[in-house]
């Protein structure tokens, strides 16, 4: 079957890195280690595993970082080569309890999937994202499906999945909505695990897929006071406003908007530029993960406030003096598991399904490409904001041709 395979090939990795720096993000694919190959479908590693045939598979920011050669070396031990990327998957299940039905994959490979019994404390509590056995067990190392040599991944015609990873898709939900569930779950986990106090002032930096889903999740599951979103591109700004941001500003205006929101005084350079706020906002969600966004977050979070890193950052050089002096809490929000809600503990994916349906997040899927046109797809995903798009997916349904669904208003 056809699959996009990511080989371990250092020279090509370096070439991809260079190309992405010179020509821009997403352009390293042509020279990089990713190749469209004819491979055998992966075999079922153990009982409890079933086959999954992807219908739609999304391209995520972490995938782009990997393809550009930009991802942190932290992940070296949590990835096994060669792997098929793609962890945002809705597909047809072949075998097992959901045989013949559509399911969304929860890509995290926890203790259960790895056949480790008894499960580690995190997995026992349902927080598979924090699994402590991530590189062990009967599977090759891989923090998620899509980074593991034994499981295959979404950017292919078929992969394998453990029953515990599959969530049934209700009939009423379209494929586009289903493929949004996984990224939405990341956002839901970020929002629910760091729940801002009621009436808090919130700033969300970045309005790509993750940023927009975070805005929707905050609106739906929490009770923020005023929510300010920073979005670079007009499509993003429009969507941010639709999904519940009270105020949408350009990235350069965020510090001033945060100052107005919190009504605080500021520390100003000689030229009049606001360097940082004396007070600040209660909580900042950094859905960009760049050094600039982290600096901006530190400039606007108030003493004792929170900065949540939702998007995957890389190796960053940042001045931590403000973090120390203002006793700011910097925390990560990764993947999903189970959330403590007023009504009881619920799985993140369950909440994500709810959010995708109520906020109609299928409109964030802007374009779909066949596997053969993967170079274009990755380039489009890397430049999505600029091109008025949000989420780009691979369309693996049998009789489909690449189509570009209607985009949101420019």
Binding site for other proteins (CB under 8 A): 247, 249, 253, 256-257, 259-260, 263-266, 268, 271-274
**Nearest distance from C-beta of residue 273 to other proteins, angstroms:** 6
Q: Which is nearer to other proteins, 273 or 317 (CB)?
A: 273
**Nearest distance from C-beta of residue 253 to other proteins, angstroms:** 5
Helices first, then strands: H and E counts in the chain: 12, 19
**Nearest distance from C-beta of residue 246 to other proteins, angstroms:** 11
In 10 A of CB 404, how many CB atoms? 12
Q: Which is nearer to other proteins, 60 or 249 (CB)?
A: 249
Q: Which is nearer to other proteins, 278 or 340 (CB)?
A: 278
* CA-wise closest residue to 78 among 139, 35, 32, 3: 139
**Nearest distance from C-beta of residue 380 to other proteins, angstroms:** 27
Q: Which is nearer to other proteins, 60 or 301 (CB)?
A: 301
Q: Which is nearer to other proteins, 291 or 388 (CB)?
A: 388
**Nearest distance from C-beta of residue 265 to other proteins, angstroms:** 5
Helices (H), 278-347: 291-300, 321-325
Q: Which is nearer to other proteins, 37 or 274 (CB)?
A: 274
Helices (H), 148-275: 175-179, 181-193, 209-221, 234-243, 254-262
The answer to whether 93 and 99 have CB atoms below 8 angstroms apart is yes
The DSSP symbol for 405 reads P
**Nearest distance from C-beta of residue 268 to other proteins, angstroms:** 8
Q: Which residue has the tokens 């699994």?
A: 131
Phi and psi dihedrals of 366, rounded to 5? -100, -30
* CA-wise closest residue to 65 among 313, 389, 376, 334: 313
């Amino acid at each position: 079957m056809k699959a996009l395979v990511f080989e371990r090939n250092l020279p090509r990795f370096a070439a991809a890195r260079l190309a992405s720096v010179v020509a821009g993000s997403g352009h390293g694919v042509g020279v990089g280690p990713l190749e469209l190959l004819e491979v055998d479908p992966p075999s079922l590693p153990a009982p409890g595993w079933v086959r999954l045939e992807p219908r739609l598979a999304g391209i995520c920011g972490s995938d782009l970082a990997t393809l550009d050669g930009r991802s942190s070396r932290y992940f070296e031990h949590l990835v096994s080569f060669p792997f098929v990327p793609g962890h945002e998957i809705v597909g047809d299940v072949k075998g097992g309890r959901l045989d013949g039905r559509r399911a969304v994959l929860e890509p995290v490979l926890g203790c259960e999937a790895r056949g480790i019994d008894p499960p580690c404390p995190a997995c026992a509590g349902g927080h598979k994202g924090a699994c402590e056995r991530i590189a062990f067990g009967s599977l090759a190392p891989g923090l998620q499906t899509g980074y593991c040599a034994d499981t295959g991944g979404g950017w292919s015609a078929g992969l394998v999945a453990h029953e515990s990873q599959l969530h049934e898709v209700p009939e009423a939900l379209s494929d586009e909505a289903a493929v949004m569930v996984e990224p939405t779950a990341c956002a839901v986990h970020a929002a629910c695990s760091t729940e801002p106090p009621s009436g808090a002032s919130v700033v969300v930096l970045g309005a790509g897929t993750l940023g927009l889903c975070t805005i929707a999740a905050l609106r739906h599951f929490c009770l923020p006071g005023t929510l300010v979103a920073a979005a670079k591109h007009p499509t993003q700004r429009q969507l941010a406003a639709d999904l519940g941001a009270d105020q949408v500003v350009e990235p350069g205006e965020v510090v001033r908007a945060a100052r107005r929101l919190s009504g605080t005084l500021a520390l100003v350079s000689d030229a009049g530029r606001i360097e940082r706020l004396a007070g600040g906002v209660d909580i900042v969600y950094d859905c960009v993960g760049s050094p600039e966004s982290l600096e901006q977050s530190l400039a606007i979070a108030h003493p004792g406030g929170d900065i949540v890193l939702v998007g995957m950052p890389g190796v960053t050089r940042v001045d931590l003096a403000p973090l120390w002096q203002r006793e700011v809490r910097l925390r990560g929000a990764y993947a999903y598991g189970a959330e403590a809600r007023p009504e009881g503990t619920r799985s993140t994916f369950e909440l994500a399904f709810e959010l995708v349906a109520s906020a109609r997040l299928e409109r964030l899927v802007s374009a779909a490409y066949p596997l053969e046109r993967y170079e274009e797809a990755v380039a489009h995903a890397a430049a999505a904001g600029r091109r008025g798009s949000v989420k780009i997916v691979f369309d693996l349904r049998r009789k489909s041709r690449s189509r570009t669904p209607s985009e949101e208003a420019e």
